[in-house]
Structure 1
Amino acid sequence: MATMEDHATRWFNVQSVPHSYTFPPEKRPGKHPFSTCTAIPIINLNSPEKSDTIQKIIKAGRNFGFFQVIDHGVSESVSTEALNVLKELFNMPLEEISRDAIKNGWVHMGSTSFDIDGVHLWRDNIKHPCHPLEKCMQHWPQMPTRYREVMATYVQEIRRLSWRILELICEGLGLEKGFFEEISQVQFLSASNYPACPDPSVTLGVLKHFDHSFITILFQGNVDGLQVFHDGKWIGVGVLPNAFVVNIGTQLEIMSNGKLRSAEHRVMTNSEEDRLTIATFINPSPNCTVEPAKALINESNPPLYDSFMFKDFVVSSNAFGPYTEVVQTKD
């Protein structure tokens, strides 16, 4: 029977799940089939009724912490090309991937290098910063040769989309125009390859966690796997053609003084197909003071969270290692 050691360059090509990838019973997703929740809002950003769009976003951010956007202005060809070039990268021999990562200064977390409580996640993952774009691009993968050009186009489109969504949120919360754009950046990109798994009931692609961003923009490709914890149970965020999943992060929860909520989420594996995703994290600027927006605070709505410098929070909480807990509220 095949083992991980038999497949140095294709670690996931196995017939059974090795012990080092098998989570203890209390952390396993179990044998429940992936079911899509139809209640998670799908919001058309090109709707002529702007006020209705804003209300839907605020309601979704309050009730679920997640929503999907369609008719968003990002060309399908841009997203498809990004997935294609990432597929080329993940299909490269591991030695070539590691050599490129070391040479250019980006992060590759393969199956054997990312270990949670002694158990490996069922995924390959790369990360690299995106701001400032022109400078960061010099440290992105050089192979495939078109990677930098393709992903720069994608990142620029996501930046425009993210600021558009943040501006709608800003208006919905009653904050001044441009409030978030002045203090936010497209901080980094995280792309993950979740190979088909022999037994999804004992593995996870990503453990349950909160995102410590303003918002996270996720392109899911065409295979399900993302789950959100809502009303005491895990629900699936289904794949929609050319849609983006928007996730409210803990920093936006704080600045909205709890009017919006960050949601815990995780990634399941799939027994039939590989799953490839791209997440971009829209974060506060390093020197930004994160605190409830003063316009939202009054005697009847006191601040629910302490203030802090975002750069200090990143260091102290190991944020963006994706397994830190949500920041503490005031007692």
Structure 2
Amino acid sequence: MELLSDCPAHTSVPDKYVLPPEKRPSVLDDGPSSHVVPPVIDLHGAAVSDGRRRHLIAAEIIKASKEFGIFQVVNHGVSEDVVQGFREAAAGFFAMPAAEKLPYRSDDLSKHFRVSSSTPYDRNGDRYWLDYLKITCHPVTDEHVREWPDKPGSFRGALAEYSAAVHELAQTLLRLIAEGLGLDDGFFAGDLSSGNTQMNVNYYPPCPDPSLTLGLLPHCDRHLITVLSQGDVAGLQARHGGRWLLVRPVPGAFVVNLGHQMEIITNGLLASVEHRAVTKADAARLSVVTLVMPKMECRIGPAPEMVNESTGPARFREFEFSEFIKAYSAAAASREDVLDYFRIHSTASSGSAAP
């Protein structure tokens, strides 16, 4: 499969990337409703172990998570030098000659570093306008590093530094979410968030006609929580109230969105957000997506504390995370199909429930 980053600039969208009309992006509404945007939350003071400011931040996160499932954070403690250092190294990788990227081309999911194009999550064989890196990035081990590329020369060091900093931020966010839900601040620690952290570096070249294709299909993330550096080029859209909202870049911010596991653990109180990527005609876009996930053998289901009068009875059955990964692939990333597989369906005639 040829990488888009290895091709000369296209003057038209090749047929294989043209989506059926019902899947193409619609023109964004510039009316008043377009000003509804996911919140930007200032994390300054979040490191304090206790105090009014920390409680306010936790409450803001829960409010944003309930309404949007996605928000942006500033004053998050990750140095801009660290962010830009890895973004530049990643952009440098995509800019390398095709021959230097060829050894890393693979669709083998067991590899700790690989580069490919489009997405495997589509039943109809539709192709999407992106190249991507899939990286096992945390914890940093010798086994992982050996598979990371040694070109550009800054890549390995920049990736290790970036992944450690973002992992620490993700843990801070998980503690704040737990506190905002009234759970112990260490609730999401351990098996729920200590699986191998995955990183997707998505590269969207300029597209000659963004109305005909998408950079990435609508989907929800399989994992617990996602921390995204989207740079200064807009392209991320999140579904809210039946329409797509553009998540406009905020200088120095990370975008945070909730995954399927957070929705299940909170018994539907916090919903995983459906999102997609649109393309640009006049600019390339690079996003760095860090996906925090449970261990494969972790047992997951609604937390007992989240099954109450407010959320109602348990909505999902318990399962092992590895089972969810298989179901997600089988459902081609369809939000409703994969959740329905784990949803408890009430039987009206008997009042019993079954998976």
**For 2:62, what is the secondary structure of its paired residue?**
helix
- Paired with 1:132 and 1:199, the residues of 2 have a C-alpha distance of 40
- Paired with 2:207 and 2:114, the residues of 1 have a C-alpha distance of 24
Alignment of 1:154 onto 2:168: no
Q: TM-score, length-normalised on structure 1?
A: 0.91
Equivalent residue number for residue 107 of structure 1: 114
Equivalent residue number for residue 173 of structure 1: 181
- Residues 121 and 203 of structure 1 are in contact (CA less than 8 Å); yes or no, is this contact kept in structure 2? yes
Closer, same or farther in 2 for the Cα pair 1:236/1:246, shift >3 Å? same
- Residues 79 and 154 of structure 1 are in contact (CA less than 8 Å); yes or no, is this contact kept in structure 2? yes
Question: Within 5 Å, which residues of 2 pair with 1:66-145?
Answer: 66-101=70-105, 106-110=113-117, 116=122, 117-134=124-141, 135-145=143-153
Question: Within 5 Å, which residues of 2 pair with 1:211-230?
Answer: 211-230=221-240
Name stretches of at least 5 consecutive residues in structure 1 with no aligned partner. Answer: none
Alignment of 1:274 onto 2:284: yes
Equivalent residue number for residue 294 of structure 1: 304
Closer, same or farther in 2 for the Cα pair 1:326/1:53, shift >3 Å? farther
Task: Give how far 1:12 is off.
Answer: 5.7
**For 2:293, what is the secondary structure of its paired residue?**
strand
**For 1:122, what is the secondary structure of its paired residue?**
coil
Task: Give how far 1:232 is off.
Answer: 0.8
Alignment of 1:310 onto 2:314: no
Closer, same or farther in 2 for the Cα pair 1:197/1:8, shift >3 Å? closer
Letter in 2 for 1:174: G
- Paired with 1:236 and 1:29, the residues of 2 have a C-alpha distance of 12
Closer, same or farther in 2 for the Cα pair 1:105/1:67, shift >3 Å? closer
Identify the range of structure 1 (26-35 vs 43-52) with the bigger mean alpha-carbon deviation: 26-35
Equivalent residue number for residue 42 of structure 1: 40
- Paired with 2:244 and 2:26, the residues of 1 have a C-alpha distance of 12
Task: Give how far 1:326 is off.
Answer: 4.0
Alignment of 1:209 onto 2:219: yes
Q: TM-score, length-normalised on structure 2?
A: 0.85
Please provide the CA RMSD for this pair. Answer: 2.6
Closer, same or farther in 2 for the Cα pair 1:54/1:33, shift >3 Å? same
Q: Percent identity?
A: 37
- Paired with 1:110 and 1:164, the residues of 2 have a C-alpha distance of 33
- Residues 4 and 117 of structure 2 are in contact (CA less than 8 Å); yes or no, is this contact kept in structure 1? no
- Residues 205 and 283 of structure 2 are in contact (CA less than 8 Å); yes or no, is this contact kept in structure 1? yes
- Residues 112 and 144 of structure 2 are in contact (CA less than 8 Å); yes or no, is this contact kept in structure 1? no
Closer, same or farther in 2 for the Cα pair 1:319/1:275, shift >3 Å? farther
Letter in 1 for 2:53: E
1:145-164, Cα deviation, whole Å (9 max, x unpaired) = 22111001000001000000
**For 1:228, what is the secondary structure of its paired residue?**
strand
- Paired with 1:9 and 1:271, the residues of 2 have a C-alpha distance of 15
Task: Give how far 1:288 is off.
Answer: 1.0
**For 2:339, what is the secondary structure of its paired residue?**
coil
Letter in 2 for 1:145: G
1:101-157, Cα deviation, whole Å (9 max, x unpaired) = 56975221125x868423321111110212432132222222222211100100000
Alignment of 1:22 onto 2:18: yes
Question: Within 5 Å, which residues of 2 pair with 1:256-275?
Answer: 256-275=266-285
Letter in 2 for 1:162: A
Closer, same or farther in 2 for the Cα pair 1:57/1:326, shift >3 Å? farther
- Paired with 2:282 and 2:232, the residues of 1 have a C-alpha distance of 13
- Paired with 1:215 and 1:149, the residues of 2 have a C-alpha distance of 24
Closer, same or farther in 2 for the Cα pair 1:127/1:246, shift >3 Å? same
Q: How many residues align?
A: 326
Equivalent residue number for residue 235 of structure 1: 245
- Paired with 2:153 and 2:30, the residues of 1 have a C-alpha distance of 36
Letter in 1 for 2:278: M
Name stretches of at least 5 consecutive residues in structure 2 with no aligned partner. Answer: 46-51, 346-355
1:28-72, Cα deviation, whole Å (9 max, x unpaired) = 003447896443110001147111111110011111000000000
Task: Give how far 1:245 is off.
Answer: 0.4
Equivalent in 339, 344, 351 of residue 327 of structure 1: 339
